[in-house]
């Protein structure tokens, strides 16, 4: 979405000039009208140009342009933190700071990214930029004492086809993710409570080639510590929650599927912290199982989910205190 606007200060000045022209015109003071009209036209021609580009109502980049400089602002209109990266390529323009930035915007926050100024005022300046973003706070500190539930129903167990550090695809950023072999339509439950920050459920394609990841259905839950719990490869129309819902640990949130970058039906689950360029780093977490707490999921393992007992809390208030 792109929109062109005028600087509010310049717009106000122009409105005042037009009101003055009207009053003088009504008094037949045509010479003064001509002078002020020229000034008004000159003001319009030198207005600060502004443009806004928004991506999915999560990140907006605002540009303010004058004759010799450009101000770039970032805004997060959503109620959830995001981390974005932006890179500027410019000719005859300088910012006096690195032209690649990665920063976190909290809910409804905005800030100045950088100011680009002309090096040589008589020469034309050019610039372009690209950016990406993801849900979450790059400075989030995970609560390592938290013990997660298995992401499926109490009493159930599913074979792990990729655990921590599995060589097939759980390396690097995905080192601490877990893939559970599940028939399509299996209920998926929240491993930890939080707020649904983002979801996708319109996709139908599952494949194993470049670009297939864009076809995944998913639910992303923002945790209290700024990390996210992410559930991938869900079936079409498989989300059982809505963005903004407050979720408690153990709540049924989705139905598993086989969409996105996948070869067989399964659930991909991991806890992440935002890094840069729309990427996230998986975090090592521990899980509660019927056989006790496990610190690493291993390929071939089967872990039975513990019973869910709600110790206290009002569902109506959206606040839950759960023990397993």
Predicted confidence at residue 317, as pLDDT, reads 34
Cβ atoms within 10 Å of 248's Cβ, excluding its own? 18
Predicted confidence at residue 3, as pLDDT, reads 36
Predicted confidence at residue 121, as pLDDT, reads 83
Predicted confidence at residue 41, as pLDDT, reads 54
Query: Rounded to whole angstroms, how far apart are CA atoms 125 and 143?
Result: 47
Predicted confidence at residue 50, as pLDDT, reads 81
CA 25 to mean position of chain CA atoms:
54
Predicted confidence at residue 167, as pLDDT, reads 80
Q: What is the pLDDT of residues 55-93, one digit of tens each?
A: 988 999 999 998 889 999 999 999 999 999 999 999 999
DSSP letters for 10-65: HHHHHHHHHHHHHHHHHTT-HHHHHHHHHHHHHHHHTPPEEEEEEETTTEEEEEEE
- Average pLDDT across each block of 10 residues of the chain; the chain has 324 residues. List them in order: 42 62 63 56 55 93 91 96 96 90 97 93 90 97 95 97 86 94 98 97 93 94 97 97 97 97 95 97 96 94 86 34 33
Strands 187-189 and 93-94: unpaired
How far CA 138 is from CA of 25, 79, 96, 231, in Å, comes to 59, 16, 24, 20
Q: What is the pLDDT of residues 180-203, one digit of tens each?
A: 999 999 999 999 999 999 999 999
- DSSP state, residue 291: T
CA 220 to mean position of chain CA atoms:
10
Predicted confidence at residue 31, as pLDDT, reads 58
- DSSP state, residue 257: B
How many CA atoms lie within 13 Å of 32's alpha carbon, on the beta-carbon side?
A: 12
- DSSP state, residue 215: G
Q: In degrees rounded to 5, what are phi and psi of residue 320?
A: -130, 145
Of 252, 232, 248, the C-alpha closest to 153 is 252
Instruction: Tell me if 77 sits within 8 A of 57, measured CB to CB.
Output: yes
Of 295, 310, 15, the C-alpha closest to 147 is 295
Instruction: Tell me if 34 sits within 8 A of 22, measured CB to CB.
Output: no
Strand order in the sheet with 82-91: 100-105, 82-91, 126-135
Instruction: Tell me if 254 sits within 8 A of 231, measured CB to CB.
Output: yes
The C-alpha angle with vertex 227 and arms to 222 and 229, in degrees rounded to 5, equals: 60
Query: Rounded to whole angstroms, how far apart are CA atoms 267 and 187?
Result: 10
Give all domains of the chain, ordered by start, each with its CATH number: 2-135 (2.60.40), 147-323 (2.70.70.10)
Query: Rounded to whole angstroms, how far apart are CA atoms 110 and 61?
Result: 10
Predicted confidence at residue 319, as pLDDT, reads 35
182, two tokens = 């599940």
Which residues have C-beta within 8 Å of that of residue 286, sequence separation ≥ 6?
Answer: 147, 148, 293, 294, 295
- DSSP state, residue 173: G
Of 43, 317, 72, 308, the C-alpha closest to 192 is 308
Query: Rounded to whole angstroms, how far apart are CA atoms 165 and 23?
Result: 76
Strands 234-239 and 252-256: antiparallel
């Amino acid at each position: 979405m792109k929109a062109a606007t005028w600087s509010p200060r310049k717009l106000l000045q122009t409105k005042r000039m037009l009101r003055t022209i009207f009053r003088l015109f009504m008094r037949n003071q045509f010479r003064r009208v001509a002078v002020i009209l020229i000034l008004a036209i000159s003001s319009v021609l030198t207005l600060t140009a502004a443009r806004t580009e928004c991506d999915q109502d999560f990140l907006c980049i605002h540009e303010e342009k004058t004759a010799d400089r450009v101000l770039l602002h970032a805004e997060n209109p959503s109620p959830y933190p995001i981390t974005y990266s932006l890179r500027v390529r410019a000719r005859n323009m300088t910012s006096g700071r690195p032209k690649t930035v990665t920063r976190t915007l909290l809910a409804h926050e905005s800030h100045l990214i950088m100011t680009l100024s002309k090096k040589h005022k008589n020469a034309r300046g050019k610039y372009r930029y690209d950016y990406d973003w993801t849900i979450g706070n790059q400075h989030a500190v995970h609560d390592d004492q938290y013990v997660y539930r298995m992401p499926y129903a109490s009493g159930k167990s599913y074979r792990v086809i990729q655990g921590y550090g599995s060589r097939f695809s759980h390396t690097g950023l995905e080192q601490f993710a877990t893939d559970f072999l599940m028939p399509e339509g299996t209920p998926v439950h929240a491993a930890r409570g939080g707020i649904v920050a983002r979801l996708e459920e319109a996709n139908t394609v599952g494949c194993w080639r470049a670009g297939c990841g864009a076809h995944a259905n998913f639910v992303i839950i923002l945790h209290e510590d700024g990390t996210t719990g992410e559930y991938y490869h869900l079936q079409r129309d498989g989300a059982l929650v809505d963005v903004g819902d407050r979720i408690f640990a153990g709540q049924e949130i989705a139905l598993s599927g086989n969409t996105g970058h996948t070869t067989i039906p399964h659930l991909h689950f991991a806890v992440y912290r935002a890094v840069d360029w729309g990427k996230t780093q998986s975090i090592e977490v521990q899980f509660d199982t019927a056989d006790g707490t496990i610190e690493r999921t291993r390929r071939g393992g089967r872990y039975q989910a513990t019973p869910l007992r709600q110790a206290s809390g009002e569902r109506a208030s959206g606040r839950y205190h759960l023990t397993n």
